[in-house]
Amino acid sequence: MSSFKDLRIVDNFYQTSAYFPMPTVLISTLAEDGSTSIGSYSLCFPYYIAGKDYYAMLLECRNSSNTAQNLLRSSVCALNFIEDSRADFKEAVRLGFPGESSAEKMATCAFKLEKGQCEGERPQVLSSAYQVFECTWVSELENAAEDRARIGLLEGVDPPYRSFNGITSKFGCHFILKIDKILMKEKYRSAIINGVKASSFPRVPVDYGYRDSKSFWYTRFRRPISEPIPKGKETDLSSVKYAANRLDPEVKFTDAACAMLVKVPHIFLKMALQGCVDWAKENGVTLIDVAEMNIINDKRSEYKKK
Ligand SMILES: Cc1cc2nc3c(=O)[nH]c(=O)nc-3n(C[C@H](O)[C@H](O)[C@H](O)COP(=O)(O)O)c2cc1C
């Protein structure tokens, strides 16, 4: 017998039929008059994370919102991630109340804004955000740019709908947002570059969405803890050596370099070795030793040199 009860899946299942942890993102966009407008969003997740020509986020929102209308028109936005503060969350809930124009909402906006770092006409960013993704809507995907002709239909959009980019239902919209820049406060940036400690994480709240038709629920930040990867899963050194030295006729690995790869999960080993070989070819290296492995492993070494 199952230890679970079945639950009906209804609209907005992530908050009506589930407990789903989400970020709190204040999205700034350009209003028609060029001013910055801010809306609150949680359904905003990484979409293209590797292996494409660019990195992208996915935003799910109401197509009549100021944010959707502004994105359809101007394509640019900034995703401002806010820290745990009751006052800031209260303001996020105010900015998340539907039906107000940008001008009405922004007249009393408590957040300080500043210029971002992308060129061209862009919305301002939140000075208190711990990180900001400046983004551009990829309107070419699924020919979604055609949905610009449907701007201003605020009472519901008639079919046809797109599958994953642009107007996707009567009231819904999805935006695939290319990340142009990630801006971060110095303290958190330096933790990413030099190695994180529990004390160097931003104080990120977890949003659980709008429940009981009354309130937004969220949990306050708690200090993160780390869990090392399982012991005893290392690949045998001789298997690494065998795979490493038959990959390319010109690039060879020392035993010490191979020893640095024994913790790579076996299914990723060939890919990791190929990455090393590619790096060696680009840099005119024919023997990969510990020093070379250190450079390859340290994807951020260029930042550190600076
Ligand atoms: C914390 C929070 C998260 C929200 N997340 C979303 C979301 O992911 N998608 C959405 O369509 N609306 C979301 N809303 C509701 C929007 O904020 C609301 O539709 C608002 O009117 C949007 O503002 P805008 O019209 O200025 O874009 C959220 C509201 C709050 C307070």
- What's the confidence (pLDDT) of residue 302? 63
CA of 200 to the centre of ligand 1 (A): 29
Which residue among 15, 41, 83 is best mutated to probe the pocket of ligand 1, counting the most ligand atoms within 8 A of its Cβ? Answer: 41
Ligand 1 nearest-atom number relative to CA 43 = 8
Token readout for 266 is: 């076996």
- What's the confidence (pLDDT) of residue 305? 59
Q: At a CB cut-off of 8 Å and minimum separation 6, what does 2 contact?
A: none
For the question of whether the overall pTM of this predicted structure is more than 0.75, the answer is: yes
**Stretch among 56-60, 64-68, 195-199, 240-244 having the lowest mean pLDDT:** 195-199
CA of 96 to the centre of ligand 1 (A): 5
CATH number attached to the domain at 237-305? 1.10.8
CA of 69 to the centre of ligand 1 (A): 13
Instruction: Using CB atoms within 10 Å of the CB of residue 39, give its burial: 0 to 12 exposed, 13 to 18 middle, 19+ buried.
Output: buried
- Mark 120-131 as b/e (b = at least 16 C-beta within 10 Å): eebbbbbebbbb
Q: Where are the domains of the chain?
A: 13-219, 237-305
CA of 306 to the centre of ligand 1 (A): 39
pLDDT tens column, 152-204: 999 999 999 999 999 999 999 999 999 999 999 999 999 998 888 999 999 99
- pLDDT-derived band at 304, boundaries 50, 70, 90: low
- The whole-chain average pLDDT of the chain stands at 95
- Tell me if 62 CB under 6 Å of ligand 1: yes
Which residue's CA is minimally distant from atom 23 of ligand 1?
39
- What's the confidence (pLDDT) of residue 212? 87
- Tell me if 65 CB under 6 Å of ligand 1: yes
The whole-angstrom separation of Cα 85 and Cα 87 is 5
pLDDT tens column, 132-144: 999 999 999 999 9
CA of 45 to the centre of ligand 1 (A): 14
Nearest Cα to Cα of residue 182 among 39, 40, 46: 46
CA of 291 to the centre of ligand 1 (A): 49
- Tell me if 39 CB under 6 Å of ligand 1: yes
Which residue among 22, 42, 215 is best mutated to probe the pocket of ligand 1, counting the most ligand atoms within 8 A of its Cβ? Answer: 42
pLDDT tens column, 233-268: 888 899 999 999 899 999 999 999 999 999 888 899
To 10 degrees, the CA torsion angle through 113, 114, 116, 120?
100
Q: Given a cut of 60, is residue 306 above it in pLDDT?
A: no
- Tell me if 24 CB under 6 Å of ligand 1: yes
Which residue among 12, 40, 90, 91 is best mutated to probe the pocket of ligand 1, counting the most ligand atoms within 8 A of its Cβ? Answer: 40
CA of 210 to the centre of ligand 1 (A): 10
The whole-angstrom separation of Cα 15 and Cα 4 is 18
Nearest Cα to Cα of residue 72 among 10, 146, 170, 14: 146
Q: How far is CA 246 from the centre of its chain?
A: 37
Number of Cβ within 10 Å of residue 6's Cβ equals: 6
CA of 256 to the centre of ligand 1 (A): 53
CATH number attached to the domain at 13-219? 2.30.110.10
Which residue's CA is minimally distant from atom 21 of ligand 1?
98
CA of 46 to the centre of ligand 1 (A): 18
